[in-house]
Amino acid sequence: MKRRLYEISMDGGPLKLGRRTLVMGVVNVTLDSFSDGGDFYDTRVAIEQGLRLAQEGADILDIGGESTRPYSEPVSTEEELRRVIPVIEALAAEVSVPISIDTMKSEVAKRALDAGASMLNDVSALREDESMAEVAAETGVPLILMHMLGTPKTMQVSPAYRSLISEIISFLEERLTFAESRGVDLGQVIVDPGIGFGKTFDQNLTILNNLGMFAALDRPIMIGPSRKAFLGRILDKEDPKMRDIGTVACVAAGIINGCHLVRVHNAALGVQAARVADAIINEQVESY
């Protein structure tokens, strides 16, 4: 499937999407993330992980200080700031790739941008804190809006839809309209159907198999299937860290079905999968 080409403005040059898939590497500065909770809670270790992901080829680093795993509890603004700001400051001084802040709080977003981040990733799609829209509008940075059914604490309590894909598209359309009403330039927005966020195992597969339908939104598409529980069910792998090969399969399928960005924990494998899938859809072997 040939993807639409997009260009999003960023300090240091435009973010070009469509010819080559961009790989976003995850740094969870948390105690309870489902995939690696506690592994990178220490500031120094989190910084080292960010540097490692950049060395492995990640195009963007996504720093988060609040777990959004199913049934997770929120953390205070002060605690989230304590976790992420030192990591962002250190990485901004060391890496050339853009840094994204994964947060639902406008105060964390503002402080993170001041510390060196240049992208916002809001899994609540501006519902948790509507002031996030003002931050995005005032700064003009790229903004990721994700579909989630409910909140992290409630999203996996019997998720149900009448028409899965059309309901996700309608939700994202409404969120785009809201963002624009608050002054956000829609040319800066990326959409994410929210794999694993209020979906059954089978619904996650339906999303991956029907990503092309999200082209109707006319925005770049990001997916985050990395190490998710549905892969554990398919592969009979209880340990999330043993699901990276399954993640690679999802990355390749997602790219061939039309996504522009992939969010992964293992950047080295994600980059390799993306390059091969890109070569297939472009019908050309390129040197990166």
For 179-208, the pLDDT digits (tens) are: 999 999 999 999 999 999 999 999 999 999
Distances (CA, A) of 224 to 125, 129, 255: 15, 22, 12
Six-digit token pair at 145? 């809006």
CA distance linking residue 151 with residue 197, whole number of Å:
8
- Contacts for 23 with CB less than 8 Å, ≥ 6 apart: 57, 58, 59, 60, 261, 262, 264, 267, 270, 271, 274
Query: For 19-282, which CATH superfamily applies?
Result: Dihydropteroate synthase-like (3.20.20.20)
CA distance linking residue 172 with residue 100, whole number of Å:
20
Residue 37: the pLDDT is: 61
Q: Which of 3, 69, 199, 228 is catalytic?
A: 228
Residue 36: the pLDDT is: 61
Alpha-helix runs per DSSP H in 95-210: 106-115, 131-139, 164-181, 201-209
Residue 102: the pLDDT is: 97
pLDDT single digits (tens) 128-150: 999 999 999 999 999 999 999 87
228 is a catalytic site residue: yes
Identify the residue whose tokens are 């700031």: 81
Q: Quick check: helix, strand or coil at residue 271?
A: helix
Higher pLDDT residue, 229 or 155? Answer: 229
pLDDT band at 72 (very low <50, low <70, confident <90, very high): low
CA distance linking residue 194 with residue 119, whole number of Å:
18
pLDDT band at 68 (very low <50, low <70, confident <90, very high): confident
* β-bridge mates for residue 16, sequence order: 7
Q: Which of 175, 227, 263, 275 is catalytic?
A: 263
CA distance linking residue 127 with residue 110, whole number of Å:
17
263 is a catalytic site residue: yes
Whether 71 shows a pLDDT value over 90: the answer reads no
Residue 121: the pLDDT is: 98
State the average pLDDT over residues 22-44: 82
The structural domains of the chain, with segments of one domain joined by +, span 19-282
pLDDT single digits (tens) 207-216: 999 999 999 9
**Burial tier of 67 (Cβ tally within 10 Å: 0-12, 13-18, 19+):** buried
